[in-house]
Amino acid sequence: MNNTTKTMDNKIMANNKYVGHYVDDTGVVDEHYTLNEDGFVELSEDLEAIIEKFTGVEEYFANGVGGAEIREDLMDLIHELVNGEEEV
């Protein structure tokens, strides 16, 4: 990826309401993009809808039944894509 593409990608990610730079309690800002709270909620709700659509099971994640591994795998993929670590 050249610098122009990386700059464009950074502008796109800056406008994405579901990802951002994590800031820890001491104010240190992570240089990589990650899902923010809204992104985590949206991902969870979308996965709930998929599970319900194909199985009829409601609130699979909310009931603590399972699914955390699926969500974590998708979060890893999203992080790789938004940080340019995975080819599109």
pLDDT in tens, 58-86: 877 776 667 788 899 999 999 998 888 87
Contact between residue 84 and residue 9 where contact means Cβ atoms under 8 Å apart: yes
Q: What are phi and psi of 19, to 5 degrees?
A: -130, 160
7 belongs to a structural domain: yes
88 belongs to a structural domain: no
Could you give the number of structural domains in the chain? 1
Each residue's pLDDT tens digit, 3-61: 444 544 666 666 789 999 999 999 999 999 999 999 999 998 999 899 899 999 887 77
87 belongs to a structural domain: no
20 belongs to a structural domain: yes
Nearest 5°: CA angle at 16, between 11 and 19? 110
**Domain extent at residue 48:** 3-82
